[in-house]
Amino acid sequence: METDPERLEYVDEVIKTVRFHVMDLEQLTKIASTDLIDDRKKCRALIREVMMYQSKVLEFPLIDDIRTRRRGRPGVFITESVDRHDVSLHVEGWESESDCDAVVFSLNTVKEIPPIRVGSFVRNSIRMVELNNFIFVFAALNFTFEPVASRYDPSFDKWKNLNPRPATDFPQAATVGSSIAVLDGHIYLLGGMLVTCIDTLTQLDYACSRDCIISDRISSYDIARDKWHEQEPLPEGLAFSAAVGCPSNGCIYLCGGVSPDNDGCANLYAYDTSSNIWLTKPRMEHSRYAHCMGLVHDKIYVIGGYYDEGQIEIFDVIEEQWTTVESLRLNVYNSCALVMDEDILILGGSGPDFQPTSDIRVFHTDDHTVTMHEKCLPEPIAFPVGALIVHPALL
């Protein structure tokens, strides 16, 4: 357009179709300083709108229109909690093999991404969640037990260090087996087990260790302000539970887990985020821990875990009643559940033989059947954590 003045009359129309909203802020600054943009009032207004949008992208959900929608099909990001090895995160293809102890892969992309940081994480301390098309990771560093928090932006292939969760009354302890949930722009970390001895992490049964303290702590992370807040403690200390946020009523549901008095419990609690109080709900039929959960259409699906015999239990948030789907043979624990449309993907974990698996099972909530996904994880993963995200194409 700069070389052909006759095309200048079309600038305003062309600019409207450019996806400035998903560009890097540095790129936008350069574009805004060009004569082509600076000389046209409508273009300047659009660039100002985009830069304002970029500055508040964490504060509001992404606007779903042609200018802000990120390209690409859904992808699954997954990593494993590791013990005494360096952590290097990658995006791997379904069919490729990885030598990394922690892997990140997507359904349709094969590319290397920067490592989250140098060092290794305490086994089963990593928690991962997606919010506003970003991936948030919370973990504890090995040996030092220092808490860390990071955010990955798939659009620009960058990690950003965040304020870590404040230390507990036991600063030399690592939190393992906590639950994670998302609701209204906040990320909640609930309960967990405080481990003060690195050798404890090699034990199969955490609950039997004298070095463990089961926590009732709940912390919320405000992604817009990068700040942590302590909330009303759990009704009892719980670790290896599962939690999910329910947007329709503003509650976080937490069920099962290991308590100071039980190796596995059937309790269900609801945390009302508006009033900061805990409510006791009807108990599950089966006690379990190290299970996973998913929410579809105001129904909570509880899957797998120790002491489970393959049943999936369903809690109707509206009716506040449990139903059980029998004999699905989903005897898995420490798996990761990801909701995709009306299906729940159940990734990795271990089976009754205590061996990690690379299987991906799909629970169909419409007809209560389970099928095996045509793909498998790149390798067997015993303690997977994951997030489902619309993975954008490279700009």
Over residues 3-55, the pLDDT tens digits come to 777 777 777 777 667 767 666 667 777 777 777 666 666 676 677 767 666 55
Mean of the per-residue pLDDT values for the chain?
76
CA distance linking residue 149 with residue 157, whole number of Å = 17
Give a three-class secondary structure readout of the chain: CCCCHHHHHHHHHHHHCCCHHHCCHHHHHHHHCCHHHHCCHHHHHHHHHHHHHHHCCCCCCCCCCCCCCCCCCEEEEEEECCCCCCCCCCEECCCCCCCCCCCEECCCCCECCCCCCCCCECCCCCEEEEECCEEEEEEEECCCCCEEEEEEECCCCEEEECCCCCCCCCCCCEEECCEEEEECCEEEEECCEEECCHHHHHCCCHHHCCCEEECCCEEEEECCCCEEEECCCCCCCCECCEEEEECCCCEEEEECCECCCCCCECCEEEEECCCCEEEEECCCCCCEECCEEEEECCEEEEECCECCCCCEEEEECCCCEEEEECCCCCCCECCEEEEECCEEEEECCECCCCCEECCEEEEECCCCEEEECCCCCCCCECCEEEEEEECCCCC
> Rounded mean pLDDT of 190-205?
66
Q: What phi and psi values does residue 253 have, to the nearest 5 degrees?
A: -105, 135
Residue 143 above 90 pLDDT?
Answer: no
Q: What proportion of the chain, given as a percentage, has pLDDT over 70?
A: 67
Burial classification of residue 336, based on how many CB atoms lie within 10 Å of its CB (0-12 exposed, 13-18 middle, 19 or more buried): buried
Amino acid at the residue 351: G
Residue 100 above 50 pLDDT?
Answer: no
> What is the set of domains in the chain, with CATH numbers?
5-55 (no CATH), 74-390 (2.120.10.80)
Amino acid at the residue 387: A
CA distance linking residue 146 with residue 172, whole number of Å = 8
Give a three-class secondary structure readout of 145-185: CCEEEEEEECCCCEEEECCCCCCCCCCCCEEECCEEEEECC
Among 74-78, 112-116, 185-189, 347-351, the range with the most confident prediction by mean pLDDT is 185-189
> Rounded mean pLDDT of 73-97?
35
**pTM of the entire predicted model:** 0.74
Amino acid at the residue 287: S
Burial classification of residue 319, based on how many CB atoms lie within 10 Å of its CB (0-12 exposed, 13-18 middle, 19 or more buried): exposed
- Nearest CA among 377, 349, 380 for reference residue 76: 377
Question: pLDDT confidence of 279, banded at 50, 70, 90?
Answer: very high
Are 365 and 314 spatial neighbours (Cβ–Cβ below 8 Å)? Answer: no
Residue 98 above 70 pLDDT?
Answer: no
Q: What is the pLDDT of residue 21?
A: 66
Of 69-73, 155-159, 244-248, 304-308, the least confident: 69-73
> Rounded mean pLDDT of 254-276?
91
User: How many degrees, rounded to 5, is the angle at CA 304 between CA 254 and CA 186?
Assistant: 30
pLDDT in tens, 341-387: 899 999 888 887 778 888 888 999 999 988 888 878 777 888 888 88
